[in-house]
Amino acid sequence: EVHYDAHAVEEKWLPVWERLDPFRADDAAVLTGEKPKFYGLTMFPYPSGDLHMGHAEVMALHDVLCRYKRFRGFEVLNPMGWDSFGLPAENAAIKNDEHPATYTYANIETQFTSFQKYGLSFDWSRRLHTSDPEYYKWTQWLFLKLREQGLAYRKNSPVNWCPNDQTVLANEQVLADGTCERCGAVVTKKELTQWYFRTTAYAQELYDSLDDLQDSWIAKVVNAQRNWIGRSEGAHVTFDVAGHDPIKVFTTRPDTLVGATFMVVAADAKLAQELVAPERAQALEDYLAEVRKSSDIDRLATDRPKTGIDLGVTATNPLTGEEIPVWAADYVLADYGTGAIMAVPAHDDRDGEFAEKFGLPIVPVYDAEQPYDKAAEVSRAIAAIEASGHGEGTVNFRLRDWLLSRQRYWGAPIPIIHCPVDGEVPVPEDQLPVELPELRGADLKPKGTSPLGAATEWVNVTCPTCGGPATRDTDTMDTFVDSSWYFFRYLSPHDSTQAFDPALAKAWGPVDFYLGGSEHAVLHLLYARFFTKALRDMGLIDWDEPFSAYLSQGTVINNGHKMSKSLGNGVALGAQLDEFGVDAVRLTLVFASPPEDNIDWADVSPAGSAKFLQRAWRLSGDVTSAVGVDPGTGDAALRKVTHKTVHEAAQLLDTYRFNVVVARTMELVNATRKAIDSGCGPADPAVREAAETVAILLSLVAPYTAEEMWERLGHEPSVAQAAWPTVDPALLVEDSVTAVVQIQGKVRGRLEVAPDISEADLEAAALADAAVVKAIDGRAVRKVIVRAPKLVNIVV
């Protein structure tokens, strides 16, 4: 028996595939409508190190679907590139004392080689890197377009500041425990002038259109998006203050207005400074110094002792007319709602604790023990408040604008020039890209201002408007900006005249299936959705959502734990590939579990996968060595298994149950082996049909083995270009089904019957069955209920 050498097979087919290039996506076929399109996208990697087990998993899973869609007649676009700007490269570069570009592009080459060896069906002609000037030129262009629309602006505000990375962080990059997503340091606040994207302009639509994604996106991600956007219905209510503008609050419980016995303003909101009585100003100052030390998460924690100070002013409760004190505290956040609340200590826990601590009055509005129709009462309260002219019903979102400025080097420069005369001036389009200055040998260590400030020649420019001396903006963009639109750039990655071709976007968009890690479930997806809606409103595309279907894969773990250096349980992808071969590793990852579940590497067997692949491969040898032997007549039982497998595989693939497809393929291999060894023999045409089907199904997961089988079966490469097997419906019909016979509701017998048996025949067969006769035991049959072909119910 010839042994199948995985590594030799890999080396044999790689150059063939490169020559055949079967995965290049044909724009013309889609533009003309000649073929239906399928745009499959999987998240592109950061070029930090070589590919790892997580990449291997997501890429293997995604490849199954893309290869399948190609078989089904779709023109498939499956591109890959690198998210190559950002902190990981910059930090590694600082550590190794080299330029981020050196590190980045060396890693990209390493990863590219690994990707190729891994046998994925990417269209490499569309490869892109977000750190290439030909890419970030258009990132900068998009920034300017958004600014033109009023969707990019600068403001001075307290920002999340990582004292370790010395950089600003978006809210999304601060973990639930108030630490930096990247380095774990406790995040503090700092006042800075920063660039923002106005994501809040789309809050309502970003929230509402989740309804349309409900069925095609994995549920937990839809929920994560909903929670992040955080839609609350309620009312704005205004409270008059003598000698001052009224205080406006956002409340979800306008029905409790009569119980609002005091107000609380965020201690760090401007409003607190404006309201405070002169004799309380110093107290506020002292309190504020304390508040600045704590994170938003701490401030909102319910179990935290309440702190605050009386601002020495009062406001009028518009419903009771009573004068109520106004306090400042840290449990009210400056940038949520209006930064001020009406406190209802009887019905809100935090207000309650605050009132107890400071001896403020507590007035119940209703008896919490009694039934209370909250929704109705809220509507009624809103109507009353509106009638009184003290406010109106409103919707509030937790979503904040997206802070995109970074004081780091390795990112796309913000294409703005600051002129003492003309203010903010956009870099003219024909001067894009604003290329990063090389800064060789410069100190990139974070200092709180951008290292680009040191590039004097680069910074000092003439103002495009007045020609006077001006300076470039020295901040770079958050890398999430780069990845918010990369799926557009894949459509024409080398187009030097535009970010993307609207005709191609119309033809290929939106992305039909997106697979990626759940760590990007909130941020990246939300930002890509925001960009898409903004581009639509600029008239550049005609669709509303970027990703029609979204799935996040599970994690590859080991011995029940996330792979980590400290646990020493990491599994190196390279070593696995060396030991078992690409196909065995891919098959193991796809077979291990449904795509969304974690895979414990301790529970799977790449050696078992390799063995199975050998078994499958041997079928092709048996078929060809049988040439010259008398052909059979087409073993009916095997043909049925084959056709049923293809039929089921299609349904399973359409619903992403890739692991079950592998299981069915294994069953088909077993059935074929049995037919060869102890059935119709290898020369029977049914065996060839089965072996060819195995090759096609296997090509979704184990392309090398499949290609090798396909060749041995006498076909030209590539199996990826083969036709998907046509299912003969006649072969799907079951020969028999099991009918259950019940007596007094208890199962007393089972019969194998024809699926189209008549009710009368089934009844007769049931009453004649020996087990049933015995169970009836001579009693009179009073009634027989027949549901052909599955059930007979006998009452005695």
As annotated, the binding site for ATP includes: 565
Beta carbons of 194 and 403 less than 8 angstroms apart: yes
Q: Enter the tokens of residue 471.
A: 């300076």
Give 304 or 506: the residue with its C-beta nearer to ligand ANZ: 304
Q: How many degrees, rounded to 5, is the angle at CA 593 between CA 591 and CA 595? A: 100
The C-alpha atoms of residue 708 and residue 695 are separated, in whole angstroms, by: 9
Binding site for ligand ANZ (CB under 6 A): 232, 250-253, 256, 266, 332-333, 336-337, 339, 341-342, 344, 347-348, 396
Beta carbons of 122 and 703 less than 8 angstroms apart: no
The C-alpha atoms of residue 84 and residue 265 are separated, in whole angstroms, by: 43
Rg of the chain (C-alpha set):
34
Q: Enter the tokens of residue 391.
A: 């406010």
- Three-state secondary structure of 542-592: CCCCCECCEEEECCEEECCEECCCCCCCCCCHHHHHHHHCHHHHHHHHHHC
Quote the least distance from Cβ 158 to ligand ANZ, whole Å: 14
Give 199 or 256: the residue with its C-beta nearer to ligand ANZ: 256
Beta carbons of 474 and 452 less than 8 angstroms apart: yes
* Length of the chain (residues): 796
402 DSSP β-pair partners:
197
> Which of 127, 122, 126 is closest to 23 using CA atoms?
122
- Helical (H) or strand (E) element with 48: none
Quote the least distance from Cβ 74 to ligand ANZ, whole Å: 44
Quote the least distance from Cβ 609 to ligand ANZ, whole Å: 49
235's CB contacts (< 8 A; 6+ apart) are 250, 251, 254, 381, 382, 385, 391, 392, 393, 394
Quote the least distance from Cβ 363 to ligand ANZ, whole Å: 12
Quote the least distance from Cβ 658 to ligand ANZ, whole Å: 40
Give 334 or 404: the residue with its C-beta nearer to ligand ANZ: 334
Give 86 or 337: the residue with its C-beta nearer to ligand ANZ: 337
Give 236 or 406: the residue with its C-beta nearer to ligand ANZ: 236
> Which of 330, 367, 356 is closest to 261 using CA atoms?
356
One-letter identity of residue 416: I
Give 269 or 551: the residue with its C-beta nearer to ligand ANZ: 269
Quote the least distance from Cβ 267 to ligand ANZ, whole Å: 11
231 DSSP β-pair partners:
397
Q: Enter the tokens of residue 338.
A: 């209006």
Give 399 or 696: the residue with its C-beta nearer to ligand ANZ: 399
The C-alpha atoms of residue 375 and residue 324 are separated, in whole angstroms, by: 27
Quote the least distance from Cβ 436 to ligand ANZ, whole Å: 39
Beta carbons of 709 and 617 less than 8 angstroms apart: yes
Give 230 or 570: the residue with its C-beta nearer to ligand ANZ: 230
One-letter identity of residue 373: D
The C-alpha atoms of residue 512 and residue 165 are separated, in whole angstroms, by: 37
Quote the least distance from Cβ 696 to ligand ANZ, whole Å: 53
Give 257 or 610: the residue with its C-beta nearer to ligand ANZ: 257
The C-alpha atoms of residue 101 and residue 107 are separated, in whole angstroms, by: 10
Ramachandran angles phi, psi of 561, nearest 5°: -125, 155
Give 230 or 685: the residue with its C-beta nearer to ligand ANZ: 230
> What is the distance, to the nearest Å, from the Cα of residue 566 to the centroid of all Cα atoms in its chain?
28
**Annotated binding-site ranges:** 565
Beta carbons of 26 and 125 less than 8 angstroms apart: no
Instruction: Say how many C-beta atoms besides its own lie within 10 A of residue 298's C-beta.
Output: 14
424 DSSP β-pair partners:
418
Ramachandran angles phi, psi of 103, nearest 5°: -60, -45
Give 296 or 763: the residue with its C-beta nearer to ligand ANZ: 296
DSSP 740-789: EEEETTEEEEEEEE-TT--HHHHHHHHHH-HHHHHHHTTPPP-EEEEETT
Give 266 or 587: the residue with its C-beta nearer to ligand ANZ: 266
> Which of 304, 305, 270, 302 is closest to 288 using CA atoms?
270
Give 78 or 171: the residue with its C-beta nearer to ligand ANZ: 171
Q: Each residue of 317-343: b (16+ CB within 10 Å) or e?
A: bbbeeeebbbbbbbbbebbbbbbbbbb
Beta carbons of 680 and 635 less than 8 angstroms apart: yes
One-letter identity of residue 694: V
- Three-state secondary structure of 163-232: CCCCEEECHHHECCCCEECCCCCECEEEEEEEEEECHHHHHHHHHHCHHHHCCCECHHHHHHHHHHHCEE
